[in-house]
């Protein structure tokens, strides 16, 4: 079981680590153009795309869970149909985003404070990169599908390749041709389509011999699409809640001054680092759990859960000890501002606690996605979000209260999911009994 988990987890972890590199490359190149406005434009434009694409992350998660179940059931035809439905939705959503690009950017800047120069460059960056929506959302579908088919190496290879292409093309356009923000955006755009087209080529080369002949009416089957959208609707609203909490955390920090905002941004890196690694095990739960759920193998599903939590406990202990031992040193690597370091030191214990209170939610998320029990994910997220805002409302807003509310939110998700998990396994048992 451990071998199966690591077969999915390790490539997924590598893929996760490469994701922020796309944004980092853009920011780094912008930082050498000689204008702070370029950096600001990349930051603002990147934030807009992160928010937009984050909402449509269900194209990866929902596709992964449904594909894994079809794989476990030995239904190759259904797995292909799941992918085609995902790509169809990706095309439609992309078309809407492109058509509405002007009102989207205008609406966004009603809530974003930026200098006229930053706004000008951010508009330029956005108007170029919005044409990458079909590639980004389409790749979401392919990534989920490959994971569902127990193949995490293809998404890893694509993620690495995208970063290489992004660095090469952006650097060439900026350094050799003298382009500015438009060169950075164009480099990222080329990388996005390179990733998507690579996924298409790998899919056709590896799976074409096994592709069944499918009709369009099968893809658009009303019952199947209802299930597809039912799963993804829950994930969409869950993601909306997640964005609401994350956005409020940042905004509330900013109202307390630049030092608090900077300190919170640095401390959040402790949680982000842990989440990038732990998401790999969540993906393993999604892919393998979905396979067992599709095969109606309750015993193996429960064995997977036990193995994942053993890994989780071990990693939590390791991360917590490292953070306690080297937390101050890690902060010193992130900034040399003594004022920010002094402020951050006041809240370091909260960062130390983040792995412990969050790991259950990560693992259950993967298992619930794989079994398409997305309603349970939504319930836990709603409960956690309500708790977060109740704590915020019940006490005068200080940074200590903000961090307590955030940790309570993370912990609540896992606790609620732990109570809901037995319902999932009982449902599997009932299905097995009905089949027998």
DSSP of 284-301: HHHHHHHHHHHTT-HHHH
* Alpha carbon distances (Å) from 254 to 62, 305, 347, 351: 34, 39, 15, 18
Query: How far is the C-alpha of 33 from the C-alpha of 361, rounded, in Å?
Result: 41
* Closest CA relative to residue 144, chosen from 377, 369, 381: 369
CA angle (227 as vertex; 223, 230 as ends), nearest 5: 135
8 Å CB contact between 273 and 48 = no
Query: How far is the C-alpha of 1 from the C-alpha of 288, rounded, in Å?
Result: 10
DSSP string, 362-395: HHHHHHHHHTT-HHHHHHHHHHHHHHHHHHHHHS
Query: Consecutive sets of 10 residues in the chain, 436 residues long: mean pLDDT of each?
Result: 82 77 65 64 71 79 84 83 88 92 80 71 85 93 90 88 87 82 87 94 81 71 75 83 83 74 78 84 87 85 91 92 88 76 88 91 89 88 95 90 94 93 78 50
| Sign for the pseudo-dihedral over CA of 193, 52, 334, 328 | negative
Terminal Cα distance for the chain, rounded? 26
Query: How far is the C-alpha of 293 from the C-alpha of 73, rounded, in Å?
Result: 8
Q: How many CB atoms lie under 10 A from the CB of residue 435?
A: 7
61: exposed, middle or buried (C-beta count within 10 Å: 0-12, 13-18, 19+)?
A: buried
DSSP string, 45-108: HHHHHHHHHHHTTHHHHHHHHHHHHHHHTT-HHHHHHHHHHHHHHHHHHHHHHHHTHHHHHHHH
What tokens were used for 85? 């439905």
Residues near 376 by Cβ (< 8 Å), separated by ≥ 6?
368, 417, 420, 423, 424
Query: How far is the C-alpha of 231 from the C-alpha of 345, rounded, in Å?
Result: 42
- DSSP code of residue 225: H
pLDDT given at position 150 = 87
Provide, for the chain, the percentages of residues in helix, strand and coil under a 3-state DSSP scheme, each rounded to the nearest 5: 90, 0, 10
Query: How far is the C-alpha of 172 from the C-alpha of 434, rounded, in Å?
Result: 62
Query: How far is the C-alpha of 368 from the C-alpha of 64, rounded, in Å?
Result: 11
pLDDT given at position 54 = 78
Count Cβ neighbours within 10 Å for each residue of 252-266 and write b for 16 or more, e otherwise.
Answer: bbeebeebbbbbbbb
pLDDT given at position 101 = 85
Scan for tokens 């298409």, then name that residue: 200
Long-range contacts of 80-84 (CB under 8 A, 24+ apart): 80/207, 80/211, 80/212, 80/214, 81/214, 81/218, 81/219, 81/221, 81/224, 82/145, 82/148, 82/228, 83/141, 83/142, 83/145, 83/203, 84/214, 84/219
């Amino acid at each position: 079981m451990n071998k199966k988990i690591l077969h999915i987890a390790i490539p997924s972890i590598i893929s996760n680590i490469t994701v922020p590199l796309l944004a980092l490359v853009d920011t780094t190149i912008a930082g050498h153009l000689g204008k702070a406005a370029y950096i600001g434009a990349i930051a603002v434009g990147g934030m807009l795309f992160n928010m937009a694409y984050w909402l449509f992350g269900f194209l990866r998660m929902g596709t992964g869970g449904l594909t894994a179940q079809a794989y476990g059931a030995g239904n190759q035809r259904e797995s292909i149909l799941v992918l085609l439905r995902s790509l169809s939705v990706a095309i439609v959503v992309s078309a809407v985003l492109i058509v509405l690009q002007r009102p989207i950017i205008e609406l966004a800047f009603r809530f974003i404070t930026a200098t006229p120069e930053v706004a000008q460059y951010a508009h330029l960056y956005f108007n170029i990169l919005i044409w990458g929506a079909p590639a980004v959302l389409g790749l979401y579908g392919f990534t989920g599908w490959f994971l569902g088919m127990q193949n995490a190496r293809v998404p890893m290879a694509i993620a690495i390749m995208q970063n290489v292409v992004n660095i090469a093309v952006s650097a060439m356009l900026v350094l050799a041709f003298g382009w500015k923000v438009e060169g950075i955006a164009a480099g990222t755009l080329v990388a996005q389509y390179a990733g998507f087209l690579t996924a298409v080529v790998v899919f056709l080369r590896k799976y074409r011999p096994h592709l069944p002949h499918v009709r369009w009416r099968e893809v658009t089957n009303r019952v199947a699409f209802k299930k597809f959208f039912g799963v993804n609707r829950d994930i969409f609203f869950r993601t909306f809640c997640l964005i609401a909490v994350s956005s409020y955390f940042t905004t509330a920090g900013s109202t307390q001054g630049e030092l608090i905002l900077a300190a919170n941004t640095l401390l959040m890196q402790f949680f982000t680092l842990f989440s990038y690694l732990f998401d790999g095990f969540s993906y393993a739960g999604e892919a393998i759990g979905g396979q067992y759920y599709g095969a109606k193998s309750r015993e193996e599903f429960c064995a997977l859960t036990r193995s994942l939590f053993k890994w989780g406990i071990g990693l939590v202990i390791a991360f917590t000890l490292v953070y306690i031992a080297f937390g101050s040193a890690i902060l010193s690597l992130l900034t040399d501002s003594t004022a920010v370091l002094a402020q951050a030191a006041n809240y370091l214990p909260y960062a130390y606690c983040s792995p412990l209170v969050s790991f259950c939610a990560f693992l259950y998320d993967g298992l619930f996605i794989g079994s398409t029990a997305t309603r349970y994910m939504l319930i836990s997220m709603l409960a956690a979000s309500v708790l977060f805002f109740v704590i915020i409302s019940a006490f005068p807003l200080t940074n200590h209260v903000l961090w307590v509310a955030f940790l309570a939110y993370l912990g609540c998700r896992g606790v609620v999911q732990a109570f809901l998990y037995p319902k999932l396994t009982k449902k599997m048992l009932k299905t097995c009994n009905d089949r027998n």
